[in-house]
Amino acid sequence: MPIVTPDLCDDYPEVQVVEPGFRNYGGVSAFGGEIVTVKCFEDNSVVKEQVGLPGNGRVMVVDGGGSKRNALLGDMLAEKAASNGWAGLIIYGCIRDVDVIGQTELGVQALGTHPRKTDKRGIGDLNVPVTFGGVTFLPGHYLYADNNGIVVSEKPLKID
C-alpha cells in the first residue's frame, strides 16, 4: 500500500510531524522505514560510508545543520544507496545532481540544492539523536515521507 502521510496523521494522532520546508527530489516520492541517523556539518564522509552498507529498507536521516553552502548527497551516493537497499534519505541540508537523483529508485527529501560537494574530513556521528524541524529523530524509530510531509513514530505503522 502507498504511504500517505495525511492518512497516517489521521490514523495515528501521536505521530510527530516535521515542520514544512523539505522538498522531494528522489525517484520514489513516498517512502518509509526504520531510522538511521547521521550528524555531520559540511562533510558527508559518514553518509558515504553508510550508503555503501546494506540499507535493509531503512531511512537515513542526515542532520547537516541546515547548511546551504554545499551538498551532502549527489548522484553517485544516491545510486549506491538505492543499489544497497536504502528506502530513502532525509537531508537537513542540500543535495546536488537532482536530475539524476530524480531518476533513481530512492526516496530523497532535502532543504534545497547546491552544486558544490563537501570536503571529506572523516567528521560526523552515526546513530545519535538529531533534532531539526521540531522533531528529535532517534535511531530505531520509524519515518514516513511523501509529498505532503514527513512523520515520525516510535514504532512501525500499519499502512492500509
DSSP 154: S
Location of C-alpha cell 511523501: 146
| Identity at 148, one-letter amino acid code | N
Residues 6+ apart with CB under 8 A from 28: 87, 88, 105, 106, 107
- Contact 94/110 with Cβ under 8 angstroms? yes
Q: How many CB atoms lie within 10 A of CB 2?
A: 8
- DSSP-derived secondary structure for 72-103: EE-HHHHHHHHHTT--EEEEEEEE--HHHHTT
Question: Is 76 among the annotated ligand-binding positions?
Answer: yes
Question: Is 8 among the annotated ligand-binding positions?
Answer: no
Location of C-alpha cell 536530475: 99
Question: Is 146 among the annotated ligand-binding positions?
Answer: no
| Binding site as annotated, residues for substrate | 74-77, 96
| Binding site as annotated, residues | 74-77, 96-97
| Binding site as annotated, residues for Mg(2+) | 97
